Structure 1
């Protein structure tokens, strides 16, 4: 049975525009990431799905449309089949300009336009809860998570936010203009706060590994005991000691879109023993199971091999020339998150006019890490603003819902509240930042075309 990658490869080879064939219509490249390819897989591999389509008994939608359908009664109670333009824009079936389904693309994926939900704005009453303690309550706000965070951060035209979760998602509000990307970003719908309101569009860069990398250090390599420990440990050394970590565990997303890239840890130098607390684990790690062995590229020619055993980086060497410790590796992972964000921001600068952007607004679980935010400001050489209330995705959805029923005013929803954030300002010179970024780009080049190593 084939997988999604085979479907994507077949389309790339057969469509006249190749990987970018759909970009002029949907803003998206051919990728397993988007819903239409999953739908085509089901059409090709499920007899039940094909039969339901032929009988007119199939509906297709995203998670939000499934939730709304069931809240409003479902199959037995006249459920409403509706989605919003932000979620619809991630299917690869929505024509961005009209914000309606693009019939030729829908049919190319083996679907029928009648199967798809109505596309609503992000702030309007689309139905009411059918039963239960919330029966009769209006469903009046629906947004994709990243677009909701954009609203929650009150990002107007020319402003950007970055959410640091399992991965990173940076969105730049381009206003009413649909900006095609030629630098590896996605052109997407941002929000429309009411059926008669002006639509806003965005450029988006998605990074696969952010908080996921911190979890990987904890769970797979056992270099830290908790995610919170990463900040103090990384801060215990002044820099990474020349270590660069490209966490391309399953390829690189924006702006590279390199599915064959794999993670590499570069610049390691020979270990020297030290007591617990100096960045190398001491006796406190006794009894831990040995972690996976990882193969890396090292800087010192004398180093012969590297492994991670009981949470400690150990290297065999003819002579100890350096001092790479777990603190350097953890700090390198934090910097990798920041470098990947810099790559996305540079792509946005190349695609759109962001000359007046003076601040990057941030949120998400990993944004609580003060060191990470300071490193981000240093590497971007742009101020970083973290709101005191960081649940901006939930806030954005609440603002959209409240606006639709008159609970919030438009000015309240769109105006950024004063004195409501912590600012991180660049603390290194631009030359120093550019030098480190140059080293990062060199490290990325070493991560490409490595997937065949696992064969």
Structure 2
């Protein structure tokens, strides 16, 4: 068996393909960005054909690099897939043709559907059964919108031929085949748990699960063709690559991107947590083999499942806007020319100058779940500079992360002491460690950390340290492509490359960097109180009439 594993990493703004060695180091990779489609305010779509073609292109170019190093295709033991979750694709099962653009996970056009569903009989049981609140986030409401507004999809649905899949299922349908060359319609348990059609209480160690009939009826999707649900790591469920330079290589891993990052950070034990800073920001906290239903605004999701083992669950805090806020500063406002400028600019000022940026571009996700909020900047004065706005943009992710950490600790009853970080925005040391001049000019600068000084904002009061506390230790690996690595690890388990978590001891183990912080409780409380006030003021910006007029 080859010693290399590979992964398709299909994200919100780009597709990538990585080939990793047995230490978790990428030896070949290629990335391809693709266009975002914004038909209306709050709407975001992707062309399903582009998602497939970008994956093919990335696989081809990275494989060419791999072969140029003297390797052979058969040196790759297996491939994993990881993908943007909740993003929904529907296609005609007879032809394989997509019938509507993919509706992306952060799209908010379904606000009016969610409002109606909340008044429906059985709505009060949805959170307990699925781990997800009724909101614009899960896939089920996106499918309902397509059926209401896309006549071709509705006609195929009524005829019983409309297939649905999250992006992993769509890619597998187009890129892989089964043992007899048949088209696949399959997903993994982590992606299935994001549709709001899977009952968490129905899961055990079986190799295949089914969507819940009662949930399907609640969303009125009885004629929809749903994929088969398999464990995240499986020897046979995901077939083999259908064509191209890697034709015949087995696909044995499949994970939603945030679950993949948890696996890539090797957060296999109960109590371990990771935070990924990409287009959005997603914190997952491993709760073990028992799902914990949040009472504080978090999601309950399947973290991962290996073949023959019980599912592992996680509490999740989802922030819709993180890296996309930096993109907004660059592309919409022109405040910066390149995304990497935001960290140095934010570090030039000691605070945001009273500016608070509630980045509710499509409402607020965890732990607030406010659908009628919109992006709002408070506190602008003649003193405000672009540095202050950059700082406030950075702080928005920090404060939302602190709110999520607080909620996780309330739900679990356990303090989070270590937080693994990854994702594109964590690459910036300036963002990870913002320096603040000390009150005492003869002492070294105090530092506020991490991602956008999360460790400081989330740190706890400790009276034995004169009001200062160490806070949460934030750990950043040198190789931060942990989402792709997690899919590759799942694939490796699927072919027996690894048999136990201890086999991964040497994977991505080099040059980890830790960030810590020391700040006063008064500073933390004052900053977070002002953020909470801004969140309250951002509520209700969209009225029911506004929503109906915008989304009908």
Task: Check whether TM > 0.5.
Answer: yes
Pick the aligned partner of 2:341 from 208, 229, 233.
229
Q: In the alignment, which residue of structure 2 is the partner of 1:365?
A: 424
How far did 1:448 drift?
1.5
Distance (whole Å) between structure 1 residues aligned to residue 304 and residue 192 of structure 2: 11
How far did 1:398 drift?
0.3
Deviations 1:380-414, CA, capped at 9 Å, x for gaps: 22111111110000000000001111223423466
Task: Summarize the alignment of residues 99-248 of structure 1 with structure 2, pairs less than 5 Å apart.
Answer: 99=203, 100-112=210-222, 115-125=225-235, 126=237, 127-155=239-267, 156-194=269-307, 196-248=308-360
How far did 1:338 drift?
0.5
Q: In the alignment, which residue of structure 2 is the partner of 1:342?
A: 402
Q: In the alignment, which residue of structure 1 is the partner of 2:489?
A: 399
Q: TM-score, normalised by structure 2?
A: 0.68
Distance (whole Å) between structure 2 residues aligned to residue 113 and residue 26 of structure 1: 21
Pick the aligned partner of 1:440 from 509, 514, 531.
531
Larger Rg: 1
The CA RMSD measured in Å over matched residues stands at 2.4
Distance (whole Å) between structure 1 residues aligned to residue 540 and residue 151 of structure 2: 37
Q: In the alignment, which residue of structure 1 is the partner of 2:23?
A: none
How far did 1:262 drift?
2.1
Distance (whole Å) between structure 1 residues aligned to residue 340 and residue 477 of structure 2: 19
How far did 1:115 drift?
1.9
Q: Do residues 422 (structure 1) and 513 (structure 2) align?
A: yes
Q: In the alignment, which residue of structure 2 is the partner of 1:327?
A: 387
Q: Which runs of 5+ in 2 are unaligned?
A: 1-107, 204-209, 433-448, 460-471, 547-552
Deviations 1:4-53, CA, capped at 9 Å, x for gaps: 22322221122343xx5411211111122211112223333444434434
Task: Summarize the alignment of residues 60-71 of structure 1 with structure 2, pairs less than 5 Å apart.
Answer: 60-71=164-175
Q: 2:245 is paired with a residue of what secondary structure?
A: coil
Q: Which runs of 4+ in 1 moved over 4 A?
A: 412-419, 452-455
How far did 1:138 drift?
1.0
Q: 2:397 is paired with a residue of what secondary structure?
A: helix
Q: Please tell me whether the aligned partners of residues 290 and 312 of structure 2 are also in contact (alpha carbons under 8 angstroms).
A: yes
Q: TM-score, normalised by structure 1?
A: 0.81
Q: Which runs of 5+ in 1 are unaligned?
A: 271-322
Distance (whole Å) between structure 1 residues aligned to residue 403 and residue 346 of structure 2: 22
Pick the aligned partner of 1:59 from 157, 160, 163.
163
How far did 1:136 drift?
1.9
How far did 1:58 drift?
2.9
Deviations 1:201-256, CA, capped at 9 Å, x for gaps: 01111111111111212222222222111111111112222222212222111111
How far did 1:98 drift?
1.9
Q: Please tell me whether the aligned partners of residues 164 and 224 of structure 2 are also in contact (alpha carbons under 8 angstroms).
A: no
Q: 1:190 is paired with a residue of what secondary structure?
A: strand
Q: Please tell me whether the aligned partners of residues 173 and 184 of structure 2 are also in contact (alpha carbons under 8 angstroms).
A: yes
Pick the aligned partner of 1:268 from 375, 380, 392.
380
How far did 1:67 drift?
1.5
Q: How many aligned residue pairs are there?
A: 397
Q: Do residues 38 (structure 1) and 142 (structure 2) align?
A: yes
Q: In the alignment, which residue of structure 2 is the partner of 1:49?
A: 153
Q: 1:202 is paired with a residue of what secondary structure?
A: strand
Q: Please tell me whether the aligned partners of residues 188 and 232 of structure 2 are also in contact (alpha carbons under 8 angstroms).
A: yes
Q: Please tell me whether the aligned partners of residues 26 and 89 of structure 1 are also in contact (alpha carbons under 8 angstroms).
A: yes
Distance (whole Å) between structure 1 residues aligned to residue 175 and residue 362 of structure 2: 36
Q: Please tell me whether the aligned partners of residues 154 and 413 of structure 1 are also in contact (alpha carbons under 8 angstroms).
A: no
Q: 1:124 is paired with a residue of what secondary structure?
A: coil
Q: In the alignment, which residue of structure 1 is the partner of 2:414?
A: 354
Distance (whole Å) between structure 1 residues aligned to residue 532 and residue 149 of structure 2: 41
How far did 1:453 drift?
12
Q: 2:201 is paired with a residue of what secondary structure?
A: coil
Distance (whole Å) between structure 2 residues aligned to residue 261 and residue 54 of structure 1: 36
Task: Summarize the alignment of residues 9-48 of structure 1 with structure 2, pairs less than 5 Å apart.
Answer: 9-17=115-123, 20-48=124-152
Distance (whole Å) between structure 1 residues aligned to residue 498 and residue 266 of structure 2: 14
Q: Please tell me whether the aligned partners of residues 478 and 510 of structure 2 are also in contact (alpha carbons under 8 angstroms).
A: no
Change beyond 3 A, Cα 1:266–1:59: closer
Change beyond 3 A, Cα 1:41–1:266: closer
Q: Do residues 8 (structure 1) and 114 (structure 2) align?
A: yes
Q: In the alignment, which residue of structure 1 is the partner of 2:454?
A: 376
Deviations 1:411-432, CA, capped at 9 Å, x for gaps: 3466586554111101322332
